[in-house]
Amino acid sequence: MIKKSTESQNFGTQFYTFLNSTPRAFQEKIAGSYNAIKGVYPICSHAMPQPLWKKRGYNDDGDQVWEKICRLFRQNTPQPVSVYVHVPFCQQKCGFCDCLSLPIKDSLTADRFVSALQMEIKAWGQLPGIKECPVTVLYFGGGTPNSLPDALFEQVLRMLKKTFQIHEDTQISVECNAHLLTPERLRMLKTLGVNRISIGVQTLQEPLRFRLGRHSSAKEVLTAIQRCKGSGFITCADVIYGLPEQNMNVFLDTLQSLIDAGIDGLSLYRFNLRQQNQEFIKKTFPRFHISELKNYVYFQAGHCLLNQAGYQKNHFIHFVRSDNNLYYRHVLRSEDLIALGPTADGVIGFYRYRHPHLKGYLLKDKNNRPKFEGGTDESQTMKTRPLTAALMCGEIVEEKMRSAGLGPLLSKWQSCDILEPSGSGRCRLTANGSWLIDPIIDEVKRALDG
Ligand SMILES: C[S@@+](CC[C@H](N)C(=O)[O-])C[C@H]1O[C@@H](n2cnc3c(N)ncnc32)[C@H](O)[C@@H]1O
Ligand code: SF4
């Protein structure tokens, strides 16, 4: 008992030490958020919600997936869809990164990848009704999709346009690295109809950027942002908090510089230490350790600054001023997600499938079918999916929660400063709500599924 109270006292003392590193104007708000969840939810329970297959494995092996997808397409009436294409390459691998990406070593690998991807696009194109499904958003993620040679990128995009119903209102979004955004490349992207660019900024703090394995200077990143905005792209950025040797002032300075540059949308990622980056971090920053309490204070302070500058969330980690980030919100629109490329994870109705890593993806299939790792029937999430989608996108209708029997949860979340009113009987996620997204989704599942 005594030990527990000492621990929580230390935790409280640490919290106030971190709080003092934030601007005075934010301190009352952050202290209020902390006190509202203290003793109810552990601060260290922050995590990204995981798909069911990660927890329970697959129902179907890779060979059964395509048959299932074909069957679903034969049964379904055409409706709007979202399309994701994973490009697993980068020019060089940054040491801090935990994404599934590889350095693009030679043009042969890029060629082999593009021909496997083209084979997959062709297979999707043969599904009944595919051309009648309007594409709301086409999202190129990675890796760094613009590390592909321009001619190959163009070839892929043109084939996608022939295969799917990509129209003038389709949002075409590409994850990019600032130093690859030359004026010529931006012109090419514009000509191809790309209208949204998401740049991995991470931090503008120097020399930390270079120690993390980034090659462009802060000035070059800001120039690339100006260039994208000047060419009429919706321009967004990824920023990481909790990086080694980052401090509160420079974290907030990074956000402020992006706000001043007129960034349209901004994702705030908590730094992850995983198998992919562990060795690099240990070697480069031997004294680094993760403090979730410190990360919590960073996220709260970033949230305050972005709200003050007029940004609101349209997803639990994405803040928008003039971005509408259609990709993150496909579940809220009840759209299928057709995902192509290695490790890409898609959903057709309540069927979720996943592709293998690059090596498996490149293997030839005698029937020229795309390669899959496995598939899972998620119809058990039928009851919970609408509400979890609403939570992740921060658009909760109070009445819907009450009529689903979740009135007590609603009251609990309001008293813990997890939800706040946003008008017309709706609530949105506060900073606590974003931080606790995984445990609150679990609470919904337990309440609805028993
Ligand atoms: C797939 S990357 C694409 C960005 C692009 N390749 C670039 O680096 O400019 C998407 C984002 O994941 C985030 N990310 C990468 N490694 C991370 C880590 N270890 N912890 C948290 N976020 C990470 C970064 O913010 C990155 O911009
Ligand atoms: S941060 Fe971006 S460029 Fe760097 S390795 Fe990760 S995906 Fe590639």
Is ligand 2 within 6 A of the CB of residue 176? no
Nearest CA to ligand 2 atom 7: 143
Architecture of the CATH domain 52-329: Alpha-Beta Horseshoe (3.80)
Q: What is the pLDDT of residue 8?
A: 60
User: How do residues 314-329 score in pLDDT, each as one tens digit?
Assistant: 999 999 998 889 999 9
> Which tens digit of pLDDT belongs to each residue from 42-98?
887 677 777 777 777 888 888 899 999 999 999 988 999 999 999 999 998 899 999
The alpha carbon of 97 and the centre of ligand 2 are apart by a number of angstroms equal to 6
Which residues, given as ranges, of the chain have pLDDT below 70?
A: 1-9, 45, 364-366, 450
- Which residue do the tokens 């992207």 mark? 189
Find the residues whose C-beta lies inside 6 A of ligand 1: 90, 96-99, 142-144, 175, 177, 199-200, 202, 238, 240, 269, 271-272, 277
Measured CA to CA, the distance from residue 292 to residue 211 in angstroms comes to: 23
CA of 8 to the centre of ligand 2 (A): 38
The residues spanned by each domain of the chain are 1-39, 52-329, 383-450
At residue 268, what is the residue type? Answer: L
Amino acid code (one letter) for 406: L
Residue 5's pLDDT is 37
Amino acid found at 93: K
* Centre of ligand 2 from the C-alpha of residue 286, in Å: 22
Distance 262 CA to ligand 1 centre (A): 21
Closest-lying ligand 1 atom to the alpha carbon of residue 96: 19
Buried b (16+ CB within 10 A) or exposed e, 132-166: ebbbbbbbbbbbbbbbbeeebbebbbebbbebbeb
Nearest CA to ligand 1 atom 10: 200
* Structure confidence at residue 413 (pLDDT): 97
Question: Cα separation of 253 and 276, whole Å?
Answer: 28
Would the CA dihedral through 101, 248, 422, 170 be positive or negative? negative
pLDDT at 9: 59
Round to whole Å and give the CA distance between 199 and 221.
Answer: 9
Between vectors from CA 142 to CA 138 and to CA 145, what angle results, nearest 5°?
A: 70
Calpha distance 231→187 (Å, rounded): 8
Q: What is the pLDDT of residue 398?
A: 94
The alpha carbon of 272 and the centre of ligand 2 are apart by a number of angstroms equal to 14
